[in-house]
Amino acid sequence: MGMGASNKSLAGVTLIATDGLSNQQKPGDESGEPVQKRKKPITRFFSSFYLVLVLLFVYLPIIYLVLFSFNEGKSQTNFTGFSLRWYENMFGDRTMLEAISVTLIIAVVSTVVSTVVGTVAAIGLSKAKRIVRAAVLEINNLPVLNPDIVTAIGLMLLFMSVKLQGGMLTLILSHISFCTPFVILSVMPKLRQLDDNVAEAALDLGATPVKALTRVIIPQIYPAIISGALIAFSMSLDDFVVSYFNAGAGINTISMYVYSMKRYNLSVNALATLIVVVVALILILANLVPYLKDKKAQKEEPQNV
């Protein structure tokens, strides 16, 4: 009896001691989780130094380009004074303005068409059999993996075989052909995350296939669609090789105009600066608008009493 009671008491003491140790916080933060080892000063220094080098490598050429777009002289190495002469020259250069307008027209048209075609193709592939989907996606990857020169020559030979003269039409068709695969690659991962039962439920509730597409599927994948459209627009805007082989006589894009310049002038710096400013504004708006919407939604939510 004494031994049994003593064993029970010892067991009780052991349990209490164990429970007390488990409730005690281990060395670390307030939650009891161990704190990660702090980086050594020399490690932090090299990490920061490497980050600064990467940022300088990426952004220093852009800063240099923007700075010399305001240079008073023609030198690209010696800044002689602040001036807007190269912006005046740019807006006074009719050939450059025509190249800008042609580039924007082609980029906008090819982006819209390739986004629509790529999105519809991606939705169709998501419903296709696995073998068909895998085969089509492998074919879709060819223009992405192929060098631009191969795509350019292939399109040029195709247009020649159907006796289609080089011009705006061939440029737009060629840009659509190499932009569409990027849209498909952007939209497909988002479609894989969707629940097929949602669209089927919409059809069961009386929605037509078009309404199920426009009001159920597309609203869930529109971030991927916007991402694909931006990639297509960027690819079309700075393309040179495909445009060079498929443009007709007298048609220039920005890249072709710069390539054909007999002598480089700082008006190109002015044009590039304007493009950088526009892209920066778009990125700021793209990040600011969702933030403002979230703040507005938080204010409109009823506060819990």
pLDDT at 7: 43
Average pLDDT of the chain to the nearest whole number: 81
- Other C-beta atoms within 10 Å of 68: how many? 19
Q: Please report, as a single letter, which amino acid is at residue 289.
A: V
**Number of domains observed in the structure of the chain:** 1
Please check whether residue 12 lies inside any domain of the structure: no
Assigned token pair, 155: 């399109």
- Give this prediction's pTM: 0.74
Please check whether residue 28 lies inside any domain of the structure: no
Instruction: Express each pLDDT in 41-69 by its tens digit.
Output: 788 878 888 889 999 998 898 898 899 88
Please check whether residue 210 lies inside any domain of the structure: yes
Please check whether residue 266 lies inside any domain of the structure: no
Please check whether residue 198 lies inside any domain of the structure: yes
Cβ-based burial of 133 (10 A; exposed 0-12, middle 13-18, buried ≥19) = middle
pLDDT at 241: 92
Query: pLDDT 10s digit of each residue in the chain, 305 long?
Result: 444 444 444 444 443 344 444 444 445 545 454 555 565 778 887 888 888 999 999 889 889 889 988 988 888 788 888 888 889 888 888 888 999 999 999 999 999 999 999 999 998 888 888 898 889 888 888 888 888 899 999 999 999 999 888 888 999 999 999 999 999 999 998 888 887 777 778 777 777 878 887 788 888 888 899 989 989 998 998 889 999 999 877 888 888 888 888 677 788 888 889 988 988 888 888 788 878 888 888 887 765 44
Assigned token pair, 260: 């054909």
pLDDT at 156: 92
pLDDT at 173: 93
Please check whether residue 213 lies inside any domain of the structure: yes
182: CATH: 1.10.3720.10
Q: Which of 189, 210, 215, 183 is nearest to 119 (CA)?
A: 183
DSSP for 11-58, written as a single string: HHHHHHHHHHHHHSPPSSSTTSPPPPPPPPHHHHHHHHHHHHHHHHHH
Please check whether residue 123 lies inside any domain of the structure: yes
Please check whether residue 269 lies inside any domain of the structure: no
The DSSP letter of residue 71 is: B
**Range(s) of the domain holding residue 237:** 104-255
Q: What are the CA-CA distances from residue 303 to residues 86, 182, 186, 291, 296 (Å)?
A: 56, 44, 39, 20, 13
pLDDT at 278: 87
pLDDT at 111: 94
